[in-house]
Amino acid sequence: MAGFIPPHRQQQFLKACADFFNSWLAELALLLPVSWRNALSGKQALCRLTLDAGHLKLAVEAQGRETAMGRIVSSQVPACSVRPLSQDDISALEMSIEDQALSAEQLMANIATLGSDAHGRVVLELSDDYLLIRDISLPLVSDSDIDSVLAHEIDRLSPFAKNNVCYSYEVLQKDQQAGKLKLRLVCLEKTELEILLEQCESLGLNVAQVQQRTDKTCDKAFSVASNLLPLDKRPLKEKVWNGTNQIAVALVIALLMTVLILPVWLYEKQIDALNKEVNALLDKSKVVRAKQARLVIRLDIHDALVTRKNTELEKLIILHNLTQVIPDNTWLTRVTIRGESVEIEGESDKSSDLIEKLESQEAFHQVEFASSVTRNSRTAKERFQIKMQLSNKAARLDDENSSAARVDREAQVARGRANE
């Protein structure tokens, strides 16, 4: 599905989704305490070093407030500056050695009071006088491919050698129609950056990010693309699965296991107690269950007999009707009754007359030969096989005969009682 959507439409959709979730999370963050909000947003404590006009200024940002810690004169000279010396440059050059030493001692004392969180987030900001800034245009590529394109083109885009330059970039515009990507390239000679990093290390500060100085009113988040610090000098990311987190996860798992297992253990104890009570009652219920089983079997047999009696005609009634119809010169060798179908086989002097006699009975209908008629050479009689269907009148005859038989039985019982 993604292959049918243009790349710029995909990026617009992803950007819109990111903006929506960022605004939603920002509203949820307002419900948290300030300390928690700063921890989640990465604004715990920031140590900011700013190099401007020959001065290296130190400030600490914590809880949205910036506190100046001091400044010293930097030995670094703006290599890319073409402007005349300002009043701050002249005052920095005229500062005495005693004042510089005093400022350095005061700055070191202030740095010693900083916490570990501020030491771990040190950002070095350079003014534009120390940087080479230019706007460039490249073919339109994805964001993940910008670094590789700049790595091949940096010696052409900057006056420094490829192995002696540090650079960062900022995306200014993406022209989808022209297929162009407009970037703001920021370059710094690597040797100058190393001198600055050595001076920061002498102050006891390990720089984690080097970037162009930004406006204080512009709350611009740090990004990897804007970091001038080489990859080999960037601090390693702290592993999420460290010892502290392992202990915390182990404790959480132990608590979860306790919460999950304890109710199960209590339920098992209750189940065992109930099983003992049930087993005690099972022996008493075995006799009742045996009687119930015998009663169910008898009821099933009774229902089967009643169902069979109600759905099937009595065989004796059918045979009685056949004996009334079949003449003396005919005998039967087989009578088959399957539900409402009856088949008879036998021999007769004239089997065609037998069809007429059977049809004259109300109990039978659809009387016909099931096979061809043959003659027995030994008895000189016709062998026949006739099939027929039982009609509803046969059921009425069955009921009448059953009623008559019941009346006869009742009469016999009455005569027996009278004789007594």
Query: Is the pLDDT at 359 greater than 60, yes or no?
Result: yes
Most confident of 74-83, 223-232, 341-350, 397-406: 341-350
Please, is 203 exposed, middle or buried when counting C-beta atoms within 10 Å of its C-beta (0-12, 13-18, 19+)? middle
User: Which pLDDT score, from 0 to 100, does residue 217 have?
Assistant: 46
Cα torsion 26, 32, 34, 40: sign: negative
pLDDT digits (tens, 9 = 90+) for 218-237: 555 556 677 888 877 777 76
For residue 294, count other CB atoms closer than 10 A to its CB. 10
- Tell me how far apart the alpha carbons of residues 209 and 50 are, in angstroms, rounded to a whole number: 12
For residue 157, count other CB atoms closer than 10 A to its CB. 17
87 and 55 Cβ atoms separated by less than 8 Å: no
pLDDT digits (tens, 9 = 90+) for 184-216: 888 988 888 888 888 888 777 778 888 888 765
Kind plus residue range of the DSSP H or E element containing 169:
strand 165-175
Determine the residue type at 207: V
User: Which pLDDT score, from 0 to 100, does residue 93 have?
Assistant: 47
Mean pLDDT of all residues belonging to the chain: 76
- Tell me how far apart the alpha carbons of residues 157 and 180 are, in angstroms, rounded to a whole number: 16
What's the pLDDT band for 258 if we cut at 50, 70, 90? confident
333 and 347 Cβ atoms separated by less than 8 Å: yes
Looking at residue 405, what DSSP letter applies? H
pLDDT digits (tens, 9 = 90+) for 274-288: 998 888 888 788 888
CA-wise closest residue to 350 among 368, 319, 377, 329: 329
- Tell me how far apart the alpha carbons of residues 159 and 132 are, in angstroms, rounded to a whole number: 9
At residue 151, the 3 state secondary structure works out as helix
pLDDT digits (tens, 9 = 90+) for 47-68: 788 887 777 788 877 766 777 7
User: Which pLDDT score, from 0 to 100, does residue 297 have?
Assistant: 92
pLDDT digits (tens, 9 = 90+) for 1-34: 445 677 777 788 888 888 887 887 777 777 766 5
At residue 255, the 3 state secondary structure works out as helix
User: Which pLDDT score, from 0 to 100, does residue 97 have?
Assistant: 52
Bridge partners (DSSP) of residue 56 are 51, 72
Residue that wins the pLDDT comparison between 365 and 120: 365
Both tokens of residue 136?
């460039």
For residues 136-145, average pLDDT: 86
Both tokens of residue 253?
């798992």
The CA angle 311-316-319, to the nearest 5 degrees, is 110
User: Which pLDDT score, from 0 to 100, does residue 85 have?
Assistant: 46
- Tell me how far apart the alpha carbons of residues 373 and 308 are, in angstroms, rounded to a whole number: 35
Helix, strand, coil % over all residues of the chain, rounded to 5? 50, 25, 25
Pairing of strands 330-338, 374-376: unpaired
pLDDT digits (tens, 9 = 90+) for 314-340: 677 778 888 888 888 888 889 888 878
187 and 153 Cβ atoms separated by less than 8 Å: no
- Residue 98 CA, chain-centre distance (Å), reads 68
Q: Is the pTM of this model over 0.85?
A: no
User: Which pLDDT score, from 0 to 100, does residue 47 have?
Assistant: 79
